[in-house]
A and B are shown apart, each in its own frame.
Chain A
Amino acid sequence: MKNSILMEMLRYTRRSKSAMFGLFVICCFVFIAVAAPLIAPHNPLIQNLKGNLQPGFWASKGASFLGTDNFGRDILSRIIYGARISLTVGLVAVFIGVLLGMTAGVTAGFLGGWVDNLLMRIVDIMFSLPSILLAIVIVAILGRGLDKAMIAIGITYAPQIARVVRAQTIVVRNNEFIEAARAIGASSLRIMVVHVLPNILSVLIVYATLSIGSAILDAAALGFLGLGAQPPTPEWGAMLADGIHSITGGYWWVETFPGVAILFTVLGFNLLGDGLRDATDPRLRKNA
């Protein structure tokens, strides 16, 4: 049953041109991240103060394609290596969020009663703070750094996922096969893992995909505020923070390209996520 739902979702998603374009963009960035040492023209960390703030291909003779930053590092190479960091942060943070949110959501939805009440209250409380602010506060307590930023972002994504999973679990819980499983003596834990989980997988995939984009944005924001990746790590948000003072001198390329990289990565995940969501909504399917 789980396979038929998932396969159907994927079949409808494949018809959506925008979702496929999103997938294509994601694949490009994944390739860039994996092949970084092979395709990066320079070392992303080596400084060259004599050749700093040089323009790229648009000027007559650019030694580096997208120019260099205020330490003379090659911006293109830093963006290429940055893809590794942003994609990792996005995936790990969402994985943490899914793990926490799914556990809370399935437990709350399946058991109901006071467990449900307690968990949903916690979710309400976490929703009362803007996610980036919650992440900032968690980082303030855990300390700065990329690893802590990932944990912080993961925690802030859990409530959203918990709510969606809970709603879906309640729908699944009332099916006859759950009753059948209980009748043959399966434990609650076994029913949750073996029977409920596969049936909420499609919703989970949609939300996880949509969350990866926002997680990448939040990680960049933390990096920009100096709370995430620390210099000289070529993280896109931290690159924007590094170069912020060069804009007054008209060195626009330092601040433009890392942002474009963030924009397209997030766009890819948003397009794919939208496509997956539309494919799970039968009402939207008819119109498509």
Chain B
Amino acid sequence: MKYYVAKRAINVLFIVFAVSVIIFLLIRLAPGDPAITMAGEHASAVTLARMRTEWGLNKPLIVQYFVWLRHALRGDFGQSILTHQSVLVELVQRFPNTLELSIFAMTFATIIGVLAGIVSAVRRYSFFDYASMIVALFGVSMPVFWLAIILIMIFGIRLNLLPTGGRLGVMYSITPITHLYLLDSLLEFRFPAFLDALKHLILPSLALGTIPMAFVARITRSSMLDVMSQDYIRTARSKGLGEKAVIIKHALRNALIPILTAAGTEFAGLMGGAVLTETIFSWPGLGTYIVQAVSARDYPAVQGAVIFVALIVALVSLIVDIFYSYVDPRIRYE
């Protein structure tokens, strides 16, 4: 088990390293003077000269990469051209915002998706089965940003029930402790602020969670159907177990592995969906950061953000792997 975890952890390091090499090369390949690319078009001659010496831009590419790596390992990903802030500081500040949104969206997606999938599998070909599978099919076929717009039009504008942008109303303030607003407001017993933060979370997480929910529902259904036709389910039934016990204890537990894998891989997709959802809901997370950086050709920010996201995605998949090697011992001995 230890060996397995260590092997996977080394793999995470390798992937992040490789992503950093590739993104480094890609940005150097972009047309134009790399000093201008990194300092912005409006940088003065002095700044440009300083950039060239500090980052070794007149040296060979391989030397440049190691100069960059030395900076990066100290937590220096350079300065954003747009905001003149340290890229790493900005990423760390924005990460909890995306994390809160993703956790909320994923929780909702998994709970509803698994429940709908189980009911669909158990009551196969029932009205509920058809209805939920049609909803799931529409869910995977629609653009996440369009769903977000429709939600805003219905709940934000027509019904005027929920806020359509930002994380918190202007009349509330929260002392950032964990930077997860729901948690912070509870820690200080500020219930009105908690409710307001919750309201701000609902529409973005509905938009972000719908596609993963549809995936989870479809996979739960097919995985449960697979398991339900196994001999051990017939054995469990024939020894007189109640249908509930058969479904929950015998079927669901065995159906869980594909569902977990799906939920794990969906997380990478979730970070992608966050780019669009955050943009529409003006959510100050990593997604909006990347879109702003790309639009402004803010290369240091793009570079830092991409490596940061790759690290997060790799860590999440590591955690999922460890988790299901714990659930299913067969995986460890492959």
Please tell me if A94 contacts chain B, counting CB pairs below 8 Å.
no
Chain A residues positioned under 8 Å from B271 (CB to CB): 130, 133
Please tell me if B141 contacts chain A, counting CB pairs below 8 Å.
yes
Q: Scan B214-242; emit 1 where CB is below 8 A from any A CB, else 0.
A: 00000000000000000000000000000
B227 to A: closest C-beta gap in Å:
13
Please tell me if B111 contacts chain A, counting CB pairs below 8 Å.
no
Chain B residues positioned under 8 Å from A217 (CB to CB): 141, 143
A287 to B, closest residue via Cβ? B225
Residues A225-256 near B (CB distance < 8 A): 225-227, 237, 240, 244, 247-248, 250, 252, 255-256
Is there an interface contact between A137 and B26, defined as CB atoms closer than 8 Å? yes
Cα–Cα, bound, A145→B302 (Å):
19
Cα–Cα, bound, A121→B140 (Å):
29
Cα–Cα, bound, A7→B179 (Å):
58
Is there an interface contact between B27 and A133, defined as CB atoms closer than 8 Å? no
Chain A residues positioned under 8 Å from B291 (CB to CB): 136, 225
Please tell me if A164 contacts chain B, counting CB pairs below 8 Å.
no
Q: Which of A124, A139, A247 contacts B15 (CB 8 A)?
A: A124
Known contacts A128-B313, A131-B272, A267-B138; A137 and B143 CB within 8 A of each other: no
B45 to A: closest C-beta gap in Å:
26
Chain B residues positioned under 8 Å from A250 (CB to CB): 157-158
Please tell me if B263 contacts chain A, counting CB pairs below 8 Å.
no
B146 to A, closest residue via Cβ? A259
Cα–Cα, bound, A132→B270 (Å):
10
Q: Which of B140, B153, B297, B310 contacts A128 (CB 8 A)?
A: B310
Known contacts A141-B29, A213-B141, A263-B141; A132 and B149 CB within 8 A of each other: no
B22 to A, closest residue via Cβ? A125
A270 to B, closest residue via Cβ? B141
Please tell me if A224 contacts chain B, counting CB pairs below 8 Å.
yes
Please tell me if B177 contacts chain A, counting CB pairs below 8 Å.
no
Cα–Cα, bound, A42→B138 (Å):
30
Please tell me if A271 contacts chain B, counting CB pairs below 8 Å.
yes
The 13 listed contacts between A and B (C-beta, < 8 Å) are: A124-B15, A125-B19, A136-B275, A217-B141, A220-B146, A224-B276, A244-B280, A252-B153, A259-B149, A262-B143, A262-B146, A267-B137, A270-B137
Cα–Cα, bound, A136→B305 (Å):
12
Chain B residues positioned under 8 Å from A240 (CB to CB): 143, 145-146, 149
Cα–Cα, bound, A136→B138 (Å):
25
Q: Scan A130-152; emit 1 where CB is below 8 A from any B CB, else 0.
A: 11110011111100000000000
Is there an interface contact between B290 and A136, defined as CB atoms closer than 8 Å? yes
Please tell me if B309 contacts chain A, counting CB pairs below 8 Å.
yes
Q: Which of B11, B26, B268 contacts A141 (CB 8 A)?
A: B26
Is there an interface contact between B143 and A220, defined as CB atoms closer than 8 Å? yes
Cα–Cα, bound, A263→B146 (Å):
9
Cα–Cα, bound, A256→B22 (Å):
39
Interface size class of B (residues with CB under 8 A): 35 or more
Please tell me if A33 contacts chain B, counting CB pairs below 8 Å.
no
Chain B residues positioned under 8 Å from A221 (CB to CB): 143-145, 276
Chain A residues positioned under 8 Å from B279 (CB to CB): 225
Cα–Cα, bound, A33→B150 (Å):
26
A146 to B: closest C-beta gap in Å:
17
Please tell me if B152 contacts chain A, counting CB pairs below 8 Å.
yes
Q: Scan B106-149; emit 1 where CB is below 8 A from any A CB, else 0.
A: 00000000000000000000000000000001101111111001
A264 to B, closest residue via Cβ? B141
Please tell me if B23 contacts chain A, counting CB pairs below 8 Å.
yes
Q: Scan A267-278; emit 1 where CB is below 8 A from any B CB, else 0.
A: 100110000000
Residues A144-188 near B (CB distance < 8 A): none
Chain B residues positioned under 8 Å from A224 (CB to CB): 143, 145, 276
Is there an interface contact between A129 and B19, defined as CB atoms closer than 8 Å? yes
Residues A199-218 near B (CB distance < 8 A): 213, 217
Chain B residues positioned under 8 Å from A131 (CB to CB): 269, 272
B272 to A, closest residue via Cβ? A130
A244 to B, closest residue via Cβ? B149
Q: Scan B270-298; emit 1 where CB is below 8 A from any A CB, else 0.
A: 11110110011000000000110011010
Q: Which of B15, B157, B290 contacts A133 (CB 8 A)?
A: B290
Please tell me if B30 contacts chain A, counting CB pairs below 8 Å.
yes
Cα–Cα, bound, A250→B137 (Å):
29
Cα–Cα, bound, A58→B175 (Å):
50
Is there an interface contact between B309 and A130, defined as CB atoms closer than 8 Å? yes
Please tell me if A19 contacts chain B, counting CB pairs below 8 Å.
no
A269 to B, closest residue via Cβ? B141
Is there an interface contact between A259 and B313, defined as CB atoms closer than 8 Å? no
B147 to A: closest C-beta gap in Å:
8
B287 to A, closest residue via Cβ? A133
Is there an interface contact between B137 and A271, defined as CB atoms closer than 8 Å? yes
Q: Which of A133, A139, A267 contacts B306 (CB 8 A)?
A: A133
Is there an interface contact between A132 and B142, defined as CB atoms closer than 8 Å? no
A253 to B: closest C-beta gap in Å:
10
Please tell me if A266 contacts chain B, counting CB pairs below 8 Å.
yes
Q: Which of B23, B29, B268 contacts A130 (CB 8 A)?
A: B268
Cα–Cα, bound, A128→B316 (Å):
10
A221 to B, closest residue via Cβ? B276
Q: Which of B150, B275, B295 contacts A226 (CB 8 A)?
A: B295
Chain B residues positioned under 8 Å from A256 (CB to CB): 150, 153
Is there an interface contact between B294 and A227, defined as CB atoms closer than 8 Å? yes
B225 to A, closest residue via Cβ? A287
Please tell me if B314 contacts chain A, counting CB pairs below 8 Å.
yes
Please tell me if B61 contacts chain A, counting CB pairs below 8 Å.
no
Chain B residues positioned under 8 Å from A129 (CB to CB): 19, 268, 306, 309-310, 313
Give 10 A-B pairs besides A137-B306, A259-B143 with Cβ atoms closer than 8 angstroms. A124-B11, A128-B310, A128-B313, A221-B276, A224-B145, A247-B149, A247-B152, A256-B150, A263-B142, A270-B141
